[in-house]
Structure 1
Amino acid sequence: QIDNVPPILTQALVAVEDKDFYKHFGVAPLSIMRALLANISAGRTVQGGSTLTQQLVKNLFLTREQTITRKIKEALMAVIIDARYSKEVILEAYLNEVFLGQNGDTGVYGFGLASYFYYDRPLNELSVDEVATLVGIIKGPSYYNPRKYPKRVAERRNVVLRLMLDDNLLSPNEYQTALDLPINLASGASLKKDKHPAFMDQVRRELRQVLDNPDIRQSGLKVFTTLDSNAQVKAELAVSKGVAIQEKRIGKRDFEAAMVVSDIDTGEIRSIVGGRNTDYAGFNRALDAKRAIGSLIKPVIYLTALELPETYNLATHLADEPIKLKSTHGKMWEPQNYDKKFRGQVPLVTALSRSLNVPTVILGMELGLGSIADTIWRLGVEEEVGLYPALTLGAVNFSPLQVNQMYQTMANNGQYIPLHSITSIMSPNNDLLWSFDIKPEQRVDEKATYLLNYALHKVTLEGTAKSIRANFPNVNMAGKTGTTDDYRDSWFSGFDKNILVTSWIGKDNNEPVNLSGSSGAMQLFIAYQKQQEPKSLVRRFPKGLGIAHFDKETGNLSRAGCTDTFSVPAITEALPAIPKKCTGESRVPEKPKTFWEKLFGK
């Protein structure tokens, strides 16, 4: 709209293309005579006599043929339009319809689009020299193509700047400064037919859900999205480069990948990458590739346990010993740890941070598969899951978006809020048609979630994701790796204070990629975070939590100061009474008493 156009643009346009725009009645006979004399004198066409209104008529209604008949029609129609519409309406139409270049087989019409095509920025962010360049292009978008003929365009821009100076639109200093600037353009990749196609795919899907009437969806709506263009570009770069690096390192080809980045507090999706070819608007793996999630399921199981604080805490010892279970097809299943070893008993926090399979399976079966499925639903993944033992090791197919939803609820202190890419929709007349107003819902216990996130932080310190601490020594983060059978899928979900990132690497044909979660998908997370400054993970200490001390050998509650103990946060109200003595009377040696303490019996 004309109100949103920088005044310097309309002033420059009138100064260059039609000085008498606000005075004439659609045609300017004097301008036509001046142009005719100039062209006769030069022996060729060097000056046009068409007003902005005539140019608009030609663009909207007529062909470009150079005949007297067409010129007469053009003039008559311009007079009629000038009589019926205000100068502002005519100027607004011109600004939106003028031809300013070619983007492949698609024309670039209007200054708004041209601003993005040439500079990747909206009109109101352009500098004076950039505005002058766009105005200069009008004379001949092919001849003055700034990507092909920058020197030619610079000369034309300088003519426009001179005319702006003559009309007192620029001061001499402003004129000289703009004159010395080079022609700087965007790369040209900014105006693809579908920019960020994977993210826009999600926007379209949500649009179909919130607005049932297809006629409304085609009527010039204004859709406000959650897209962070910086985050999107960083995610696309992390995926495209990261996949190529992994292929080269492993010596395989045809790897694919996906990434979803979301805001933890709001559930707003910041970026989506649907494949290694980030410009391709085809199969969107972030939304539609449902793959086995492997060890990404483990935090769900441990959260289910921690919601039973009378029975389980971070120090609770879990069995790590051989187990046989009957699968759905009647075959016996014997899960193994990654190193094929059994440890007898391990603390719950260790079993999760080291991603041990056997303790997880045993714990999951103790809790019940139905309880695990219920937690999955409460975390936001409304998908039917098969209740069989292999569920405990991630034999369930989710998309990266679904995984991100699941982890977003955990990272958000147990508060569920649907992931979304649209915040509001307005009509062409700026009436609010819809806005996202779903409030967060406490789906899982906040104290249990805090304990879980403590363990997920441990994963990045000493567990399967410890290379995160190596890459970011001063930043606290949390996350979980995931690897499926035969290394077919590599997963990672990780978060800092503000954002959650879920990444996946695999093959469309389900062949092995020979990448674990830490060697594959986690590297995409690291590559993404290295492009910015991640904020250290901070979570409020919920009421009812405290630091408790536990015996290393048994996992039982112990007194402070006893030897062979370790300290972790715990839900204090659910703990038994603190023992009066240390196990085996063993105690950390006390500080020797001074002479006066001994003397007075203190």
Structure 2
Amino acid sequence: MSKKPWKRKLFVRLCIVGFTLLGAYGLYLDAQIKHRFSGSIWQVPAQVYARPMQLSVNAEITRTEVKDELALLGYRKASDVTSSGTYFFTTNTLVIYRRAFHFPNGYESARRLKVSWNGNRIVSIVDLSSQVSIKQTQLEPWLVSRLITSNREDRMLLDQQSVPETLIDALTLTEDKDFYHHHGIAPKSILRALVANVVAGKTVQGGSTLTQQLAKNVFLTRERSLVRKAKEAMMAIAIDARYSKDRILTAYLNEVYLGQNGDNAIHGFGLAAHYFFDRPLNELPIQNLALLVGMVKGPSYYNPLRYPERALERRNLVLRILFENNAIAKNDYEQMILSPLGLDPSGTLASGKFPAFMEKVRSELADILAQPSLRESGVKVFTTIDINAQRRAEKALVSTLDNKQSSVGVELNGAIIVSDNQTGEIRAMVGGRRVGFKGFNRALNAYRPIGSLAKPIVYLTALEDPIQYNLATPLTDSPLSLPDKDGRTWQPQNADKKFRGRVPLITGLTDSLNVPTVRLGVEIGLKPIIDNFYRMGVKSAIPNVPSITLGAMALSVFEVNQVYQTLANAGEYAPLHTVNSIVSAKNALLWKHADFKAQVVDEDATYLTNYALHQVTQTGTAKRVGSTFGNTFMAGKTGTTNDYRDSWFAGFDRRNVVTVWVGNDDNKTINLSGASGAMPVFIAYQKLQEPKSLTQRFPSSLGIAHFDSHTGERIFPGCGSTLSVPAILDVLPTEATSCNVSSPSTNHAKKEEKVSWWERIFGN
């Protein structure tokens, strides 16, 4: 009997088993592919954005501020303004082709706008496509940083709609000409590559399709073996069978490796466009797209920042392929091959920028999105930072400390926080003199005695009792002895070691007098003062001792800024924060900051306190602020601690609160007062900015009243020794009818007639 039928049966059975196993393995690979592609294919860094600049009719925002923002965003000056990302300025007009962007509150398409100014105020915004006037618009936010994932891969996801057709043409024609016709693998290309490699005796040509490259990069290792190659081919076939060509191509565009940014790998054309050209992919000219496509073959070998000649040759090869396939015209091709690479060498993707601010962002983000997988899913984090304000704060701190360093015997350091008065949004945060160093964050984590920055809260607490206290109330300035917490005698002194007998309450704050402040604090009680500190945002423990009236409490710059934010916002507390909203990689809103505000201290008393703080910058310890900025009015307070160890300043204009600390990390004496150390940082910062003159809503219960500056009694206007200040009129005695008549001690006055805007805001 012949054995051939038996052998044939065995062969058939083995084939059946083999195909069954192969099919089962194929199903296993398909399940892997489906699971990966149905979820998040990659770990994608959270993208951290700055606040978007708002442009609205009647807003006081200068042309210089807008120009700075456009430069930051990489807008290009162009006389025709016909493409996204271009603009043109005349004397009082801006024509801009604003980029499209998906904001947290929805998508806004690219828009050609005309913005007009009268002085420093925007008077109109017109959509030039429809010639319709609009009330407001916003510029897309700047990409601040990227919170790189643990695998050190960085990418910016693209969707199909944001990919230029020319990029697809260049990629497929150069890397996989039959992409739209094969089924994941191209046997002819594999055979052609095999022959070329055998003839050369080494690997000189690859036969992988784009789909195979995607399968290898997403699912496989870089191992070179026939088994890995076979697995790659099977996966490519499965991917091609399951997904559309457009989806495969979009995944490839997001996955492909295109270089290194320090320790972090740059993946995808979206991120590469920003890294090499500082522009979004859809704004790149064809020659820039050709360069990125050319780099696919060897990102290191064709790195244009290191090997520009190689990169230029490779780019021009891709352009020639486009020309030969009629994708670009001859004249365009001839111009493009002569154009420079057009790289942006600024390194805009450097992670770790603004480390102090980013520390607060990371902390808030960890609370909002507790699961790390959510933070690594490509979410977009919209923060409160104003990059121009941040850079100016850094410059102001560093330059001032550098200038002061030679006059002190120890190493100076410092911190600064800038926040929005009304919203509590932190615009800038600098945690130390080495602004780019990710180390100890003095803005958040250094707790130092605050000195005279505590005094406004003492006076505010007194003014909340308007029957007993007003700005003209006499305070005693004479020697004082009090027991301290250890039972020893504490004898506070004024800075000049002098006593004045009696001073008006406003003078005690304006001139930062210690003894009257302590007497006032003891008189009204320490507990109400401490309670106000807590209500205004302090979290640290405050000791119940008289010396807290002079700032014997250790607070952070963050806490001080929160207190002064509440002051600047008419007593309304808004929590300081850095994160406003978070959206998913698909632009679905995941979280939004709750717009919480609370009136925590009396509005009338706050206005009176702020009036005094404005006077501090005019005639008091911070009068250099007033003399420097002229008619741009501000308010502020200096602070100095014992032995000149800590120098503080907190001040505000109509828009922002700025808090500065200067000192030594080892708590050594720096021999700088608040006026000579921290205040110059504030002034340097405001000089770099365009500060907005302070205005505050004048409460209806207030008016301008006239007092005898010595006795504090209400007197007839124009009499000698008159102190004219805002006051709560309903609780005051009726003013005298002449300079020779004493004012009655009872009967409340009617509200005075309307006064000028000057008096309403600043008094006489």
**Shared fold (TM-score greater than 0.5)?**
yes
2:649–2:660 Cα contact (<8 Å) kept: yes
Q: Structure 1 residue 478 and structure 2 residue 643: aligned?
A: no
| RMSD over aligned Cα atoms | 3.2
Cα shift at 1:409: 0.7
Map 1:223-234 → 2, pairs under 5 A = 223-234=381-392
Which of 148, 169, 174 does residue 306 from structure 2 map onto?
A: 148
Q: Structure 1 residue 418 and structure 2 residue 575: aligned?
A: yes
Kindly provide the CA deviation profile for residues 443-462 of structure 1, in whole angstroms up to 9, marking residues without a partner as x: 11212212222221222222
Aligned with 1:520: secondary structure?
A: helix
1:482–1:516 Cα contact (<8 Å) kept: yes
Using a 3 Å threshold, how does the CA distance of structure 1 residues 340 and 209 change in structure 2: closer, same or farther? same
Kindly provide the CA deviation profile for residues 474-529 of structure 1, in whole angstroms up to 9, marking residues without a partner as x: 42222112111111111121222211121212222211222222222222223333
Using a 3 Å threshold, how does the CA distance of structure 1 residues 137 and 537 change in structure 2: closer, same or farther? farther
- 1: CA distance, partners of 2:385 / 2:232: 44
Q: Structure 1 residue 349 and structure 2 residue 512: aligned?
A: no
- 2: CA distance, partners of 1:324 / 1:136: 81
Q: TM-score, normalised by structure 2?
A: 0.70
Map 1:269-288 → 2, pairs under 5 A = 269-288=426-445
Q: Find the counterpart in structure 2 of residue 88 from structure 1.
A: 246
Cα shift at 1:546: 1.5
Q: Find the counterpart in structure 2 of residue 538 from structure 1.
A: 695
Cα shift at 1:96: 2.2
Aligned with 1:576: secondary structure?
A: coil
Using a 3 Å threshold, how does the CA distance of structure 1 residues 207 and 252 change in structure 2: closer, same or farther? same
Q: Find the counterpart in structure 1 of residue 266 from structure 2.
A: 108
2:160–2:246 Cα contact (<8 Å) kept: no
Cα shift at 1:353: 2.0
Q: Find the counterpart in structure 2 of residue 558 from structure 1.
A: 715
Aligned with 1:425: secondary structure?
A: strand
- 2: CA distance, partners of 1:215 / 1:98: 22
Using a 3 Å threshold, how does the CA distance of structure 1 residues 154 and 305 change in structure 2: closer, same or farther? farther
Which of 249, 254, 261 does residue 418 from structure 2 map onto?
A: 261
Which of 622, 629, 654 does residue 465 from structure 1 map onto?
A: 622
Aligned with 2:485: secondary structure?
A: coil
2:410–2:668 Cα contact (<8 Å) kept: no
Q: Structure 1 residue 198 and structure 2 residue 371: aligned?
A: no
Which of 467, 475, 478 does residue 318 from structure 1 map onto?
A: 475
Q: Structure 1 residue 209 and structure 2 residue 337: aligned?
A: no
- 2: CA distance, partners of 1:88 / 1:393: 68
Using a 3 Å threshold, how does the CA distance of structure 1 residues 581 and 487 change in structure 2: closer, same or farther? same
Aligned with 2:733: secondary structure?
A: coil
Which of 293, 296, 308 does residue 135 from structure 1 map onto?
A: 293
Cα shift at 1:260: 1.6
- 2: CA distance, partners of 1:175 / 1:406: 64
Q: Structure 1 residue 395 and structure 2 residue 520: aligned?
A: no
- 1: CA distance, partners of 2:370 / 2:228: 46
Gaps of at least 5 residues in structure 2 are 1-157, 743-764
- 1: CA distance, partners of 2:568 / 2:325: 59
Matching residue's letter, 1:294 = G
Cα shift at 1:369: 0.6
Cα shift at 1:393: 0.4
Cα shift at 1:320: 1.9
Q: Structure 1 residue 236 and structure 2 residue 394: aligned?
A: yes
Gaps of at least 5 residues in structure 1 are 586-602
- 2: CA distance, partners of 1:163 / 1:548: 83
2:504–2:710 Cα contact (<8 Å) kept: no
Using a 3 Å threshold, how does the CA distance of structure 1 residues 427 and 321 change in structure 2: closer, same or farther? same
Using a 3 Å threshold, how does the CA distance of structure 1 residues 464 and 158 change in structure 2: closer, same or farther? farther
Using a 3 Å threshold, how does the CA distance of structure 1 residues 429 and 539 change in structure 2: closer, same or farther? same
Q: Which moved more, 1:57-66 or 1:386-395?
A: 57-66
Cα shift at 1:401: 0.9
Q: Which moved more, 1:111-120 or 1:521-530?
A: 111-120
Matching residue's letter, 2:237 = V
Using a 3 Å threshold, how does the CA distance of structure 1 residues 115 and 173 change in structure 2: closer, same or farther? closer
Using a 3 Å threshold, how does the CA distance of structure 1 residues 106 and 217 change in structure 2: closer, same or farther? closer
Q: Which moved more, 1:228-237 or 1:46-55?
A: 46-55
- 2: CA distance, partners of 1:239 / 1:129: 42
Map 1:289-308 → 2, pairs under 5 A = 289-308=446-465
Using a 3 Å threshold, how does the CA distance of structure 1 residues 162 and 572 change in structure 2: closer, same or farther? farther
- 2: CA distance, partners of 1:285 / 1:466: 27
Map 1:554-593 → 2, pairs under 5 A = 554-583=711-740
1:162–1:175 Cα contact (<8 Å) kept: no
Cα shift at 1:294: 0.8
Aligned with 1:454: secondary structure?
A: helix
- 2: CA distance, partners of 1:532 / 1:169: 49
Aligned with 1:503: secondary structure?
A: strand
- 1: CA distance, partners of 2:719 / 2:654: 34
Q: Structure 1 residue 17 and structure 2 residue 192: aligned?
A: no
- 2: CA distance, partners of 1:343 / 1:178: 82
Q: Structure 1 residue 529 and structure 2 residue 672: aligned?
A: no
1:222–1:427 Cα contact (<8 Å) kept: yes
Q: TM-score, normalised by structure 1?
A: 0.87
Matching residue's letter, 1:188 = G
1:288–1:399 Cα contact (<8 Å) kept: yes
Matching residue's letter, 1:544 = S
Q: Find the counterpart in structure 1 of residue 162 from structure 2.
A: 5
Matching residue's letter, 1:529 = Q
Q: Which moved more, 1:456-465 or 1:145-154?
A: 145-154
Using a 3 Å threshold, how does the CA distance of structure 1 residues 395 and 330 change in structure 2: closer, same or farther? same
- 1: CA distance, partners of 2:694 / 2:739: 35
Q: Structure 1 residue 77 and structure 2 residue 268: aligned?
A: no
2:389–2:428 Cα contact (<8 Å) kept: yes
Q: What is the number of equivalent residue pairs in this alignment?
A: 583
Using a 3 Å threshold, how does the CA distance of structure 1 residues 265 and 339 change in structure 2: closer, same or farther? same
Same amino acid, percent of matched pairs: 56
Aligned with 1:281: secondary structure?
A: coil
Q: Find the counterpart in structure 2 of residue 515 from structure 1.
A: 672
Q: Which moved more, 1:511-520 or 1:133-142?
A: 133-142
Cα shift at 1:116: 4.2
Cα shift at 1:67: 6.2
- 2: CA distance, partners of 1:126 / 1:166: 21
Matching residue's letter, 2:559 = Q
- 1: CA distance, partners of 2:593 / 2:559: 19
Cα shift at 1:72: 5.1
- 2: CA distance, partners of 1:582 / 1:330: 49
1:154–1:183 Cα contact (<8 Å) kept: no
Map 1:422-461 → 2, pairs under 5 A = 422-427=579-584, 431-461=588-618
Using a 3 Å threshold, how does the CA distance of structure 1 residues 82 and 261 change in structure 2: closer, same or farther? same
Aligned with 2:497: secondary structure?
A: coil
- 2: CA distance, partners of 1:233 / 1:565: 46
Cα shift at 1:123: 4.1
- 2: CA distance, partners of 1:174 / 1:469: 61
Using a 3 Å threshold, how does the CA distance of structure 1 residues 324 and 115 change in structure 2: closer, same or farther? farther
Cα shift at 1:289: 1.1
- 1: CA distance, partners of 2:599 / 2:647: 30
1:294–1:482 Cα contact (<8 Å) kept: yes
Which of 513, 516, 538 does residue 381 from structure 1 map onto?
A: 538
